[in-house]
Each structure stands twice: as C-alpha cells, then as structure tokens.
Amino acid sequence: MMLHIPNVLTHEQVAQMRAAIDAAEWVDGRTTAGVQGAHVKRNRQLPETSPVAVEQGRIIEQALARCDLYFSAALPARTMLPLFNRYSDQETYGLHVDGAARRVPGSVLWMRTDVSCTLFLSGPDEYEGGELTVVDTYGTHEVKLPAGDMILYPSTSLHRVNPVTRGERVGAFFWTQSLVRDPARRAMLFEMDQALRGLRARIGETEETVALTGHYHNLLRMWSDT
C-alpha cells in the first residue's frame, strides 16, 4: 500500500527546517547505504550524528505523533529518527530495496524496516526530475509531492530516485517497524480503521460501530508481533 499523507509539516515549519539544514555540513550519501545501494547511490546527506539533523528530526517526530493518518497506516512500534538528503546536478539513487534491518543510532538495538517514508522539503516547482519511483505488483508509480507532504510505502518495494536535472530536491526519510509485520494485514486494518472513522462521522457511535471497533482491536492483538 502506498499512501500520500498531506501537510505533515506546515509551510512555516518547512521554511524553518530548510533554513536550518541548508546551513549545515552535508556528506556523501553512500555513508548510510548498504552494499547494494552504495553502487547506485549518488546524493548528499546530513550525518546521522549531526546536531542539526537530530534537532530537525525530532521536529518531524513530533509532527508524526500528531498525525492520525500516519499512525493508522503504519501502526508504528518503533520509528527511526528521520535523516535528510538532497539531490542536484544529475544526482540519483538507482533501483534498490531497503535493508530489512537497521541499527538504531546511538544504541545496540536493531529495528526491522517494515514501512518506508519520504517527507518532501522542496516543492515540485523547485526542481525537475527527482521523482521517487516505486515498483510493485501493480506497476511503476512516480511520486513528486508538495513540500510538507509525505509518501508512505512498504519497505519491501523496489524503488529509485530519478536524476535531478534542474534545481535541488531536498527531503527527509525514515523507516518504521510496525506492530503488524505483514503489509496485507496492515492495509486491511488501515481500511477498516478509515471506514470506522467515516461511519462515526456520518452516523455517530452505534452498537454496530462499537462491535466493529472491537473486531479491529482483536485483529490487531492477533496479528501484532510486538
């Protein structure tokens, strides 16, 4: 399941974040790539330990904590602190799949990568190319969203970032370990949750919505592996 989540950050938050990260020191993006990814990755990133990256990543974490749509879709058990990247001058990230596990920065813990997210920090009119292209069983999907919007998709998906031919593409990215490992079950729970929200908005709380909510939570208990 791919999901567009609008307005994770406001225009003011994006502008403040860009001012902070644009002034920071960037490094070769291959420092965080696996063996496969390093062969096809050409971009720049803020170091994981950069104080600016940590501070701005916390701001994104706070925004995600207020985002019901993200919680409903990802069912987060653990979310990695967001990282930041930028592309210009034909920089690209070729077709790859994200590693199944990542070490939590500053810790001996590892987390499983179930859900991948890209939060756009530059608008589509600021650059050409640079589309996030995700390949799944339903075909190839190109994504280029307004600044402050986010795309969520299964980490099992093959994906790439097309070369940026004009301007600069700036974004944040991170992974989530979900309470529900299986993407089909996550999608089913997401659709059920959204349907219940729609029913409550239209007819209020009823015996039927209470019963369906019980089934939702019992399925979550049954399928959760955390």
Can you give the CATH number for the domain in which 167 is found? 2.60.120.620
What's residue 37's pLDDT? Answer: 63
65 with 123, same domain: the answer is yes
188 and 173 belong to one structural domain: no
Domain range spanning residue 191? 183-223
Residues 50 and 148 in one domain: yes
Residues 131 and 35 in one domain: yes
Same-domain check for residues 37 and 143: yes
Summarize pLDDT for 38-91 with one digit per residue, the tens: 789 999 999 999 999 999 999 999 999 999 999 999 999 999 999 999 999 999
Same domain, 171 and 187: no
Question: Both 61 and 170 in a single domain?
Answer: yes
pTM of the model: 0.94
Last residue of a domain, one of 161, 178, 195: 178
Same-domain pairing of 158 and 217: no
DSSP letter string, the chain: --EEE--SS-HHHHHHHHHHHHTSPPEEGGGG--HHHHTTEE-EE--TT-HHHHHHHHHHHHHHHT-HHHHHHH-EEEEPPPEEEEE-TT-EEEEE---SEEEPTTSS-EEE--EEEEEE-S-GGGEEE--EEEEETTEEEEE---TT-EEEEETTSEEEEPPEEEE-EEEEEEEEEESS--HHHHHHHHHHHHHHHHHHHHH-S-HHHHHHHHHHHHHHHHH---
Split into its structural domains, the chain has a count of: 2
- On whether both 16 and 125 belong to a single domain, the answer is yes
Residues 36 and 79 in one domain: yes
What are 163-213's pLDDT values in tens digits?
999 999 999 999 999 999 999 999 999 999 999 999 999 999 999 999 999
The pLDDT tens digits for 8-43 are: 999 999 999 999 999 999 999 877 666 666 789 999
Quick one: 83 and 106 in the same domain? yes
Residue 226 — very low, low, confident or very high, per pLDDT cuts 50/70/90? low
